[in-house]
Amino acid sequence: MPQPLLPMPDVSLLSGELKLAGRLDARFFALLEAIEATGSINRAAATAGYSYRGAWLVLDAAANLATQPLVERTVGGARGGGSRLTPTAHALLAAWRQLQAAHRDFLYAQEEWLLRQPALSGVLKRLSIRASARNQFSGTLTAVEIGPATAQASLCLAGGQEITATMTSSAARELQAEVGKEAIAMISASAVTLVTDFAGYRLSARNQLAGTVSQIERGQVSSLVYLTLPGGTAITASSSNEALDALELAVGQPATAVFKAYAVMLALPAEAAAA
């Protein structure tokens, strides 16, 4: 019985797409494995994300390149016939699994080498974090206050601005948030409100970062506004076009990005939390 395909390489800093003959990728080999497992082109196509016609097209194209069929039909039997892989297809699958293993080991080895480079390790780790929040800022924790139920932490950015986050006390303890540790603050663009005129009022939001509108990406219904802070750091806000028009925002105009402390999510390196 064939062994399942190896999972994609689980590395955080490096990635690379593996292809055989320049066009046979992981999706194609998932299709072959699904054919072997189900005995049906139709079910295999759905498993691998192809249409029935698309599955046949890619199989025919690969067979033309290999000059040998990869799938053969079976007639009759307990299941009423179906499809199965040819020896050539099995050989391709075996080669793919070996290549996957070598590819994964290569990526792991290169990542270990990168992490041994003092000038790159911290930078690459911060760049490798993946999250849907558009705003991600790295900095150093300058204040941490843990109360009975809630905690507050302040992060100093490269430009000297501070971002304050509120979380549960248990979350702060689990993160082992302490002054001096590096952290990443993540804020959704939809949580950021732009203010151009306070009209003499003060807002309750803890985070208020003043800057200059540097770019506006206008969409059909909503827009993204980029605000550049002193020092070059940029923060993005999402706004409806109606609100944008009401503010009469334009590039070069001063504005303040306002967001609540509870809208900030902090991330600390895993090794810091495990120390």
Cα 127 to Cα 125: distance, rounded to the nearest angstrom: 5
Mean pLDDT of the chain: 82
Per the model's pLDDT, the better-predicted residue between 223 and 158 turns out to be 223
pLDDT higher than threshold 70 for residue 132:
no
Q: Which residue has the tokens 């971002």?
A: 163
Are the CB atoms for 42 and 36 separated by under 8 Å? no
pLDDT for 4: 45
Q: Domain 26-115 is in which class? A: mainly alpha
pLDDT higher than threshold 70 for residue 128:
no
Percent of the chain with pLDDT over 70: 83
Name the nearest CA neighbour of 211 among 230, 193, 187.
230
Complete DSSP assignment for 239-261: EEHHHHHHHT--TT-EEEEEE-G
Dihedral of CA atoms 81, 83, 84, 87 in degrees, nearest 10, equals 120
Q: Domain 129-274 is in which class? A: mainly beta
pLDDT for 80: 53
Q: Where are the domains of the chain?
A: 26-115, 129-274
Helix (H, G, I), strand (E, B), or coil: what is residue 180? coil
Cα 136 to Cα 132: distance, rounded to the nearest angstrom: 10
Are the CB atoms for 55 and 146 separated by under 8 Å? no
pLDDT for 167: 93
pLDDT higher than threshold 90 for residue 192:
yes
pLDDT for 193: 93
Structure tokens at 176: 């082992």
Q: What is the pLDDT of residues 61-71, one digit of tens each?
A: 888 878 888 99
Per the model's pLDDT, the better-predicted residue between 191 and 75 turns out to be 191
Q: Stretch 114-122: mean pLDDT, rounded?
A: 63
pLDDT for 153: 95
pTM of the model: 0.54
Cα 225 to Cα 81: distance, rounded to the nearest angstrom: 59
